[in-house]
Amino acid sequence: MMARRRAGLTQRQLAELLGLRQATIARWERGDRGVSLDDVELVAHACGLQLDAHLLVEDRSWWPQIAMQLELDPLERVRRLTPPGAPDISAGLSELAAAGVFGLVIGEVAGALHGWPLVLGSSTIEVCGFVDGVGYRLRLMGARRTRSGRHIVSGGASVVVVEAPAGTGGEADLTRNRVEFETPAGPVEAAGLIDLLRIADASDARTARRDSLALQAVLDVQREREAPRATDDRAAGERIAEWLSQQTPVA
């Protein structure tokens, strides 16, 4: 899915390149049908990409923290991951919602909204959208624009607008998987986890690999939370802690 979206292809277009039915691509992406490594390499090649595989030590240390994050209100997730003394990013998100700023939150703040475990490294809210359009809305709400192109909003947080994040075709490319998060001032929209992974995967930022691992961990925990359990009414954190205790330790 990430390779196809990186290439800007529809399922039908990818299927035609591979000589397959669109239904096959759809089943692969839903996880309804297993995919061989050879198939993944063929998909990557058809999308103009190269598959680069690595053996890594499996690390589940983030799982309990992510499970606890997912039990919280989205803005509380952001507050918990904001360093002491840093600008109030959650207030900035509420101000964006109140002003009706059009665009999708991406980057670290989007990761925090989704429940990742990483402490935020800056007070910048990245927004994917049309630069002039978002900038105009920010100016209407009284945000102060700095020489670096950032707009300072509530509590000292800053907003930077990105028209086309790495590995994407811009906001229109991310809209179909957007996720709405409620704030006291109304909803704010963020890119979906798969698209955030796609951006991290294509980015040359020094934190991109770490971000990718954290986002993947959130996806893993979400899948564990959503696994059917007919008679288990414990909190997700308890279920995941038990699951972890049953796994074979990695040397």
- CATH number for 38: 1.10.260.40
Same domain, 171 and 125: yes
CA distance 203 to 80: 26
Among the listed residues 101, 42, 69, the one whose alpha carbon sits nearest the alpha carbon of residue 218: 69
Terminal-residue alpha carbon distance, the chain: 32
pLDDT tier for residue 208 given thresholds of 50, 70 and 90: very high
Same domain, 75 and 133: yes
Whether 241 is covered by a domain: the verdict is no
Same domain, 75 and 11: no
pLDDT at 251 over 50: no
CA distance 226 to 232: 12
Q: Which of 30-34, 175-179, 232-236, 245-249 has the lowest mean pLDDT?
A: 245-249
pLDDT tens string 209-231: 999 999 999 999 988 887 766 56
Same domain, 119 and 162: yes
CA distance 235 to 248: 23
**According to the model, what pLDDT value does residue 224 have?**
84
Q: What is the mean pLDDT of the chain?
A: 87
Structure tokens at 54: 């690595």
Number of domains in the chain: 2
Whether 192 is covered by a domain: the verdict is yes
Same domain, 23 and 146: no
Chain mean position to CA 125: 13
How would you class 243 by CB atoms within 10 Å of its CB: exposed for 0-12, middle for 13-18, buried for 19 or more? Answer: middle
Whether 170 is covered by a domain: the verdict is yes
Whether 234 is covered by a domain: the verdict is no
The percentage of the chain sitting over the pLDDT mark of 90, rounded to a whole number, equals 55
Looking from the CA of 218 toward its CB, the CA atoms found within 13 Å total 23
Same domain, 212 and 110: yes
Same domain, 164 and 204: yes
Whether 249 is covered by a domain: the verdict is no
Same domain, 36 and 80: no
Q: Collect all residues with Cβ–Cβ distance below 8 Å to 224 and sequence separation of at least 6.
A: 63, 236, 239, 240, 243
pLDDT tens string 184-206: 989 999 999 999 999 999 999 99
Whether 159 is covered by a domain: the verdict is yes
> In which domain, by residue range, is 6 found?
2-46
Same domain, 133 and 22: no
pLDDT tens string 12-38: 999 999 999 999 999 998 888 888 999
Same domain, 29 and 103: no
Same domain, 38 and 93: no
**According to the model, what pLDDT value does residue 76 have?**
96
Structure tokens at 210: 């770490």
**According to the model, what pLDDT value does residue 250 have?**
44
pLDDT tens string 126-143: 999 888 777 777 776 777
Give the angle 112-113-119 at the CA atoms, nearest 5°.
15
Among the listed residues 87, 240, 107, the one whose alpha carbon sits nearest the alpha carbon of residue 168: 107
User: For residues 64 and 135, is the Cβ–Cβ distance under 8 A?
Assistant: no
